[in-house]
Amino acid sequence: MKNPPNPEESIREVITNFVRDCRENKARAFEGQRYWDEPLVGFADGKDPIFQQYKDIIGEFHMTPAEALSKVYPAELDEHSQVYVISWILPSTAAVRSSNRRETEVPSKLWSHSRNFGEICNMVLRDHLVQTLRSMGYRAVAPFNSMHFRRLEDSPVGIASNWSERHVAHACGLGTFGLSDGLITPVGKAMRCGSVVTDMPLTPTPRSYKSHTEYCLFHSYGTCRECIERCPAGAITEAGHDKEICRKYAYGKIKETVGPTYGVVTTGCGLCQTGVACEGRIPEPPGK
């Protein structure tokens, strides 16, 4: 079906239905309960200046949407080609969040299964949306899943990649950054995000925020600091988030401690995403 009458709603429906029915969204070790609630979906014009700004903020290595799409279709696109971005948020369920909220040193088993097995749902969702768009006659690529995706261990901003799902979600109107570097969305910070680039014409989602840290109580009002208190590694301070300290703890100590016990390869941590004011919502300003 080419040019659906309401393309944004059509895309939302594809993503929502897939997450609802995806077998990888069911925790087999926890009686089939879900990892992710209903997704949030946003859109952006791939030629929005913010994507060029990311080359200054993150690094020249960070791809623009046009660059990501042209790597897959090098002979079919030029500077006049239209490019759009689809981004989504997969909110952690209340059960996943609650289980991790009780922890203080290592993530809960359910949280770790969500990070390890639940992310498979996100990976296959990216590919499913790409195939859906291509079947409709559009060009599409999921940069995170593509052979062109790269992680950089030692960039000018520390550990980084050439396609940041969080920054893309911010560009698509889905949230702003917190002190811990997590993205605070209308459904909170306990989530995962994904994206696809396409030439399907889409109406961009307005960015209702005035700054990239607007939803963070510390950045906006100098209050909260709960993520600092929640971090067992001391990786978060008023100066921000130390990626190297965080990584060593999350993928060193935690992985070695609970990885084999939980039966997962990727454990993550997520303690700063739970037990905080922005866990499941945009926190209210002080005094409200």
User: How far, in Å, CA of 37 to CA of 24, rounded?
Assistant: 13
Q: What is the pLDDT of residue 255?
A: 86
Per-residue pLDDT, averaged over 189-217, amounts to 98
- Residue ranges per structural domain of the chain: 7-273
Q: What is the three-class DSSP state of 5?
A: coil
Residues of the chain with pLDDT > 70: what percent?
Answer: 99
Q: What is the mean pLDDT of residues 118-127?
A: 97
Q: What per-residue confidence (pLDDT) applies to 2? A: 62
pLDDT, one tens digit per residue, over 21-70 is 999 999 988 988 999 999 999 999 999 999 999 999 999 999 999 999 99
For the cut 80, the answer to whether the pLDDT of residue 269 exceeds it is yes
CB 282 within 8 A of CB 177: no
Distances (CA, A) of 38 to 66, 230, 275: 29, 27, 21
Instruction: Please report, for the chain, how many H helices and E strands are present, in that order.
Output: 11, 12
Closest to 15 measured CA to CA, from 127, 163, 109, 138: 127
C-alpha to C-alpha distance for 183 and 191, rounded to whole angstroms: 9
pTM confidence score: 0.95
